[in-house]
Structure 1
Amino acid sequence: MIDRRKLVLGATGAALLGPALVRPAVAQPAWPARPITVVVPYPPAGSVDLVARAIGEPMGRTLGQPVVVENRGGSGGSVAAQAVAIADPDGYRLVLGTQQTHGTNESLYPTLGYRAVESFSPICQVCTVPHALVVKKTLPVTTATELVALLKREPGKLNYGSTGNGSSSHLACELFKIKAGVEAQHVPYRGGGPLAQDLMAGVVDFGFIAVANIRGQLEGGLVRALAIASSKRVPLMPDIPTLAEAGVPDVDADAWFAYFAPAKTPPERIALMASAIEGALSADLVRETFDKNAVVARFRPTPEMPAFVAAEVKKWAEVVRLANLKPE
């Protein structure tokens, strides 16, 4: 027989204990709750800076908070990358990294204060910047294979310009030399503008240079492009073959830009930012900026980024080793 007194007491006890046992869910604060800073590892007005600013506006609209661009140059971009690597992993401080900050610096700077893979939570790649193999107008070659033949006939006699020691332009030419089995003297410049000027003036014989930095001279017939150092032809210059098509395979030396957050940034925040960035790539302002600066949109999602960055580090480490390159 049921004891009604015990039943009533039991129900009363459960009611008294209920508030202690059942805790209300604590609402998580909305994220982002303040502006996000994207650190650009190079000075203002360069291609990385322009891309960051173009993407930042639509990205901020999607996330509901402004995206602020902070320029912080030095040591081939490593100053900016290291500053983000040691920042709080809360998603409020990112770096728009490149093949230099997250591809070559690890091999060029032995005391680098970060690791390209381990120190970051990658978000996504957004674009590539194709480089063209360009020769001065008076050089008696019209194809990449003819240039290789000339370099082999006269080893070490010709010179090539780059946008700086350890730059993507420099590493592209070193990769070309290794794959083609040729030699040439390196003449480093401080940026694409001076290099383009001296290619046009015939001071240097050839070089690898971002299409954006030499586009006007190419269209004006002041210099000659022999090939593109990419896996595919560039839409802006569809008649120029890739180096592989021109007979020099395995010289894929695109510069690339990708967003990185500090390691251990919450995955849900990484996902939100990746989605906002991917959406931003279709914005009119972003497309116009890319077209004007010969930048090719290339979205690489978060899951693919660790293997991609690791492969880039390995690839360029071998080039640095074989070419015996040292930082400035």
Structure 2
Amino acid sequence: MQSSSSPIVLEKQTTFSWGGMGIALLAHTGWGAYPVLARYLQTVSDLPSMALLGVGNLLALAIYLPFVWRHVDKRILRSTLIWGFALVVVLRAITNLLAARFTLAIYIQPITLMTPLFVALLSTGLFREPLPPLTWSAIALSLLGALLMMSDDIGVAGMTFALTPSDWIGIGLAVISALCLAIYMILVPRTVKHAVPGESVLLMQLLALTVTGASVSVLIGEDWTRFATLTPMDWTIFAVFVVGVFLGANLGQIMSLRQLGAPLVSSVMAWRLIATLALAALFLGERLDSWQQILGALIVLATITIYLVRQGQPFIKQTRR
């Protein structure tokens, strides 16, 4: 799932394990790599966006399907609930992919990391749930950190930004994508009673994204011959994108959620930003060039980590007993 969100899993007793935490970090690394690889394939390899979404998910589906088809209750694919999730996943995936075409990967990830804060606000506004402690402080600090990361200079005239019109489009798409992910994460715990296995959800997501991506690509007339001109390096990046993110990050997330539970897995979510910064510098030449950009990244990392650990503290203490 290109939504980097928590899939629906059966409720079960979770316990802390270093193996599970290692899998969680690998999954977060995959999601941190997502905007970098997506941007590379769209701007360097010059692959059309919707064709990339359709073909990438088709290959992931072809790899995954033989292992799960016999174990999946086919009736789940006729569920209104499952296709409701599919709609949110498709919107999330399209906006996330297009955001990587229009703006830098290092600008997208701080916005994605604010998803738990969007979840808290939407849960309070829509369902009257109590707002978790320090949410407003975390929002203010996260916004400050993100603005510093996007800043060009800070002087007597105030903060200036090195953002082009294309960057603003990409940032807007990233915000919409994060809101879609927040809606998905709100809906997940409210449907636990349906006991939908994570494998079925992943299968549905791959199928929905394959059909949507390929159909939209054909309708708007994208040039699929670009796949025939890819270099060995391009194919390597594409293979890592399909196997490492579409499959690996999703399956790793499912496994770690089942072993550790959502609070523990979410507590190390900020690792995604570290992965994005490292990989963006390596593959795209995108770097934090000033002290204020580095400070902004540190603020985002510290804020999201402290906020998520604090929200999950009761659960974390329980699982370690």
Under TM normalisation by the shorter chain, which class is it?
under 0.3
TM-score by length of 1: 0.26
When you count strand as a share of all residues, which structure comes out higher?
1
When you count helix as a share of all residues, which structure comes out higher?
2
TM-score by length of 2: 0.26
Which structure is higher in RCO with an 8 Å CA cutoff and minimum separation 6? 2
Which structure: larger Rg? Answer: 1
